[in-house]
């Protein structure tokens, strides 16, 4: 007496389409490609859910459902597909089936492939591993020490074919991944259920060769000793450059904005009543200085004359008008003018200089009077003009554009 | 030491590898032969096992880590949506164990004789619930991963008990957090058998032939 051959095709209980089955009897979910209905493999293929928002076609990826290939000396059939999203990144899991070795996953992340399978070997962690583990922490599992390289939460946004669990769009999984290159160990928690998987990086060319994919394998990312992935040349250099430029800009904005060598405040009435002369010292030749004039004007204007002299020599004389007015009722407010002015000067030689300040001004109806307002004069040595920052910002913008372009290019490649 | 027995149906010479064998299935005519008190009883024909790919093969050498064994018999149970195989295996010292294989879910177990475990009641336990079992003198918490009804549908080779085709019983599969496994078979007469062991990664089983 021969047993009947097991079913290899079913009819979708929702739309009547014929579905070829490639997996074994432990498949939990089958997604009908015609109507996107999720059928329960454990309960006479009853419809579990229909993804009306998921009327997307299957992405055109090199691995297709039904393909067969030999990995780790075992023949596998691609039976299902899940796409996850996490922080804008996408992961592609292909569910594999072997009648002798059960079920496994082939994960495509950027251009890497990871072959993994569920294991029951638990890590040496007391308590919930997801609470205890963070990036950089080490743990032991399967007699190996893993370094946590990733901790996150991913959500399913596309499913197709057969799966060994009830994967639905929108389902989320918290996970921690540890690396001991080329091995990976992942702890996942979904619906209060913990699962463990053990995997390893597989050469992309090997995957293509195993499944008979007749196209050039994309260049794989490599795994460094510590477990982190090195960036591809396409993205790595712009990222490093952008990082360097950003650091330079931040440092320059703090360090190279000049050292304050003089700062004093005066009542404007002092300036009206007579010139104020103050000393300051410059400690290098041909230095660029910034003279910063700040007032607390409110409905007032001032006209200031400043001179920089050394001994009998008058190096600079300049006039600056500062005016600030505001008014309005309730939320309908207006203002015009400015309360400050900047002047750049370059002094040819080091030494002690004098700044001579005098001024006059007026005021509007609401002002407390020009004479009662303050003027603060500050001098900064060794300043760098803002045009250098503008050039650096343009460079940073260009690099960010390249990064954005690369991201878009990758997304197009993944989605097609 | 092996012993030769002639099939009562086709007279083929059958190799009996262990003394405690109670049941032999003739590999030629699929006669089901019950061995007791030196006698041989033909129980009729046993269903032939469909030739599906399997990680184990009858009569060939395998290795799990440093443990070498040979499958000498197999029983197949149907649990509705599929089936699993219980392989009766013998190691190089003559000791026997069971290797349970269900599409890559593999456990190596042996029959438990601990009276404390035997006194436990499994009829009302549900999937997801936990219970403690004594394994290697240690009390471990096990969680029920499966509780189903099954039917014996086929067998082959040499087995330590009488196989009754179409015999049905309930079973409970349990798993501990550190990968220890347990199976409880609950029969219609109220008796039960408990098997304890460990979960096995299929990639750790190597063929040695």
A7 shares contact with chain B (CB less than 8 Å): no
Flag whether A246 is in a domain: no
Question: Is pLDDT larger for residue B42 or for residue A45?
Answer: B42
- CA atoms of A360 and B97, how far apart (whole Å): 105
Give B81's contacts in chain A (Cβ within 8 Å). 25, 41-42
How far, in Å, CA of B150 to CA of B185, rounded?
Answer: 10
| CA neighbor of B172 nearest in space, from B133, B208, B114 | B133
* pLDDT (average), residues A50-66: 69
Which range is least confidently modeled, A223-232, A310-319, A367-376?
A223-232
Distance, CA of A138 to CA of A133 (rounded, Å) = 8
In a domain, A73, yes or no: yes
Least CB–CB distance from B55: residue in A1, A72, A100: A100
Return the pLDDT at A316. 87
Question: Does A60 map to a domain?
Answer: yes
- The confidence score (pLDDT) of residue A21 equals 82
Beta carbons within 8 Å of A405's beta carbon, 6+ residues apart = none
Distance CA A78, CA A65 (A): 5
Top mean-pLDDT range of A57-66, B36-45, B82-91, B135-144: B82-91
**From its phi and psi, is residue A413 left (phi > 0), alpha (psi between -120 and 50) or beta?**
alpha
Cβ contact, residue pair B201, A119, below 8 Å: yes
Q: Are residues A202 and A286 in the same domain?
A: no
B46 min Cα distance to partner chain A (Å): 8
Query: Residue A49 falls within a domain, yes or no?
Result: yes
The pLDDT value given to residue A192: 67
pLDDT at position A412 is 47
For residues A79 and A173, membership in a common domain is answered with yes
So what's the pLDDT on residue A4? Answer: 36
> Is the CB of B154 less than 8 angstroms away from the CB of A102?
no
A226 band by pLDDT with thresholds 50, 70 and 90: very low
| Residue of B104, B129, B165, B175 to mutate, testing the A interface (most A Cβ within 10 Å of its Cβ) | B104
ipTM: 0.84
pLDDT (tens digit, 9 = 90+) per residue, B40-99?
A: 888 888 887 787 889 999 999 999 999 999 999 999 999 887 889 999 999 999 999 999
**A351 bridge partner residues:** A282
- Whether A222 and A96 share a structural domain: yes
Render pLDDT for A269-287 as a digit per residue (tens, 0 to 9).
888 888 889 999 988 888 8
Q: Is A79 exposed, middle or buried (0-12, 13-18, 19+ CB in 10 A)?
A: buried
Sheet holding A300-310, edge to edge: A276-282, A351-363, A300-310, A313-329, A332-337
Residues A226 and A265 placed together within one structural domain of the fold? no
Q: Which of A320, A324, A315 is nearest to A351 (CA)?
A: A315
Q: At B139, is the pLDDT very low, low, confident or very high (cuts 50, 70, 90)?
A: very high
Residue with tokens 């047993």: A3
Question: Is residue B137 very low, low, confident or very high in pLDDT (cuts 50, 70, 90)?
Answer: confident
CA A266 to chain centre: 48
Write phi, then psi, for B178 (nearest 5 degrees).
-100, 20
What's the mean pLDDT in A399-408? 70
One domain for residues A202 and A287: no
Residues A225 and A282 in one domain: no
pLDDT exceeding 70 applies to what percent of chain A? 82
> For residue A219, what pLDDT is reported?
67
Q: What's the number of domains chain A is made of? A: 2
Give residue A264's pLDDT.
Answer: 92
* Number of Cβ pairs < 8 A linking chain A and chain B: 62
pLDDT digits (tens, 9 = 90+) for A148-202: 988 888 888 888 888 887 766 677 788 899 999 889 999 988 766 778 899 999 9
Note whether A77 and A188 are same-domain residues: yes
A311: pLDDT strictly greater than 70? yes
Nearest to A101 among B49, B104, B179 (CB): B104
**A168 and A27 together in one domain:** yes
pLDDT of res. A221: 56
Q: How confident is the model at residue A56 (pLDDT cuts 50, 70, 90)?
A: low
Place of tokens 């299929």: B202
Based on the domain organization, do A343 and A212 belong to the same domain? no
Distance CA A11, CA A37 (A): 12
Instruction: Please enumerate residues of B whose Cβ is less than 8 A from a Cβ of A.
Output: 45, 47-50, 52-55, 81-83, 102-105, 153-154, 175, 177-179, 199, 201-203
> Minimal CA–CA distance to A26: which of A100, A102, A93?
A102
pLDDT at residue A111 tops 80: no
One domain, residues A282 and A353:
yes
User: Could you tell me the residue range of the domain that residue A151 belongs to?
Assistant: 9-230
- Cis status, amide bond into B26, omega within 30 of 0: no
Q: Is A391 inside any structural domain?
A: no
The pLDDT of A106-134, averaged and rounded, is 82
Comparing A41-50, A91-100, A370-379, B41-50, the range with the smallest average pLDDT is A41-50
């Amino acid at each position: 007496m021969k047993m009947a051959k097991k079913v290899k095709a079913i009819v979708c209980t929702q739309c009547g389409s014929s579905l070829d089955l490639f997996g074994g009897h432990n498949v939990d979910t089958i997604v009908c490609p015609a109507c996107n209905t999720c059928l329960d493999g454990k309960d006479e293929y009853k419809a579990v859910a229909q993804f009306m928002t998921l009327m997307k076609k299957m992405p055109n990826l090199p691995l297709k459902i039904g393909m067969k290939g030999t990995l780790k000396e075992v023949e596998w059939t691609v039976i299902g597909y899940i796409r996850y999203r996490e922080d804008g990144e996408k992961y592609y899991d292909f569910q594999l089936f072997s009648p002798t070795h059960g079920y496994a996953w082939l994960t495509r992340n950027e251009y890497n492939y990871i072959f993994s399978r569920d294991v029951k070997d638990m890590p040496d962690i007391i308590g919930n591993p997801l609470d205890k583990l963070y990036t950089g922490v080490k743990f032991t599992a399967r007699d190996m020490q893993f370094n946590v390289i990733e901790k996150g939460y991913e959500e399913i946004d596309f499913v197709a074919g057969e799966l060994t669990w009830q994967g639905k769009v929108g389902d989320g999984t918290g996970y921690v991944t540890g690396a001991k290159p080329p091995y990976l160990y992942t702890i996942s928690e979904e619906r209060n259920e913990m699962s463990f998987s053990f995997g390893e990086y597989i050469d992309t060319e090997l995957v293509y060769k195993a499944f008979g994919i007749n196209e050039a394998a994309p260049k794989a990312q490599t795994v460094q000793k510590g477990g982190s992935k090195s960036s591809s040349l396409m993205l790595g250099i712009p990222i490093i450059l952008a990082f360097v430029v950003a650091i330079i800009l931040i440092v320059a904005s703090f360090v190279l904005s000049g050292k304050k060598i003089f700062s004093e405040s005066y009542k404007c009435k002092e300036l009206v009543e007579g010139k104020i002369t103050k000393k300051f010292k410059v400690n290098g030749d041909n230095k660029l200085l910034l003279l910063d004039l700040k007032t607390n004007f409110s409905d007032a204007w001032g006209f200031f004359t400043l001179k920089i002299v050394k001994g009998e020599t008058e190096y600079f004389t300049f006039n600056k008008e500062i005016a600030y007015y505001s008014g309005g009722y309730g939320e309908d407010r207006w203002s015009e003018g400015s309360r400050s002015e900047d002047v750049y000067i370059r002094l040819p030689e080091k030494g002690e200089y004098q700044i001579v300040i005098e001024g006059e001004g007026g005021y509007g109806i609401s002002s407390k009077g020009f004479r009662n307002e303050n003027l603060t004069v500050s001098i900064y040595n060794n300043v760098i003009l803002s045009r250098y920052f503008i050039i650096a910002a343009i460079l940073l913008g260009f690099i960010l554009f390249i990064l954005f372009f690369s991201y878009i290019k990758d997304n197009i490649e993944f989605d097609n | 030491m092996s012993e030769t027995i002639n099939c009562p149906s086709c007279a083929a010479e059958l190799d009996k590898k262990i003394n405690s064998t109670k049941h032999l299935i003739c590999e030629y005519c699929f006669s089901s032969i019950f061995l007791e008190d030196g006698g041989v009883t033909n129980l009729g024909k046993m269903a032939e096992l469909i030739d599906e790919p399997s990680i184990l093969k009858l009569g060939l050498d395998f290795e799990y880590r440093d443990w070498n064994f040979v499958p000498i018999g197999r029983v197949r149970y149907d649990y509705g949506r599929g089936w699993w195989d219980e392989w009766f295996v013998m190691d190089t010292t003559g000791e026997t164990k069971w290797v349970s294989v269900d599409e890559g879910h593999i456990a190596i177990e042996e029959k438990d004789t601990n009276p404390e475990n035997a006194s436990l009641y499994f009829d009302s336990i549900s999937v997801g619930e936990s219970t403690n079992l004594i394994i290697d003198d240690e009390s471990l918490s096990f969680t029920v991963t499966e509780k189903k009804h099954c039917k014996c549908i086929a067998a082959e080779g040499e087995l330590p008990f009488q196989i009754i085709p179409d015999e049905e019983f309930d079973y409970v599969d349990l798993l501990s957090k550190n990968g220890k496994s347990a199976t409880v078979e609950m029969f219609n007469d109220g008796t039960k058998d408990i098997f304890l062991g460990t979960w096995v990664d299929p990639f750790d089983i190597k063929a040695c032939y």
